[in-house]
Amino acid sequence: MRGLPHAAWTAALVLLALAGCHRAAVPPPQALATTPPPQAAVTFPPLRVTAHGSAKVPVVIESYRTNGSKRYRLEAHSALYDNAHRRASFHNAHVVFYRGARTLTVDAPSALLDHASQTVTMDGGVRAVSDDGIVLTCRRMVYHSESDRVSGDGDVRMRSGNDVLTGGHLESDLRLEQVTVAP
């Protein structure tokens, strides 16, 4: 014992004291088994993401069905995504909706993608064209992804060849084959 310096003895005593304190702070094994550890809540901070594209290189969002087939492709000049509200808004939107081998192409000054309601709302003067050449115009159109249907409001006008159908509200499938128009 005489050969150890005083500092070494002090350090050894501090380590023993700390080891003793550490053992006293550890609960017995039974307490560990019955007390679940606290769960940390995983949250994301509210984000607002802005993206800018151009006519040559647009901002692109694609959505797919659970079977892997494409639901829609949305292109726009700019986008603003708000993860707190699970929404994205787009400026100068061009959307192609897919149903099998058929498509419905829609252009609108603005579009809103709402993840909570699973809708895409196009607004500000909408023009939609089916594969068959049917042209639909209205002020506002909503695509409902759960049913693969569209609804249109405001100055609804649908032209197929020489036939024109007008009204205030429209409900239809994506092919514009089963259409209901109301005043």
pLDDT classification of 151: cutoffs 50, 70, 90: very high
Residue 141 or 33, more confident: 141
Predicted pLDDT at 52? 84
Amino acid at 84: A
State mean pLDDT over 92-107. Answer: 96
Predicted pLDDT at 53? 81
Distance CA 51, CA 57 (A): 11
Answer whether residue 69 shows pLDDT above 60: yes
Q: How would you label 50-62 residue by residue, b for 16+ Cβ within 10 Å and e otherwise?
A: ebebeeeebbebe
What is this structure's pTM? 0.72
Q: Where are the alpha helices (DSSP H) in the chain?
A: 6-25, 29-34
Superfamily of domain 48-182: Lipopolysaccharide (LPS) transport protein A like domain (2.60.450.10)
Predicted pLDDT at 54? 77
Encode pLDDT of 158-183 as tens digits: 999 999 999 999 999 998 999 999 99
- Domain range summary for the chain, segments of one domain joined by +: 48-182
> At a CB cut-off of 8 Å and minimum separation 6, what does 44 contact?
83
Distance CA 183, CA 167 (A): 5
Answer whether residue 104 shows pLDDT above 50: yes
Answer whether residue 79 shows pLDDT above 60: yes
Encode pLDDT of 2-54 as tens digits: 444 444 333 343 333 434 444 444 444 454 444 555 555 555 566 677 888 87
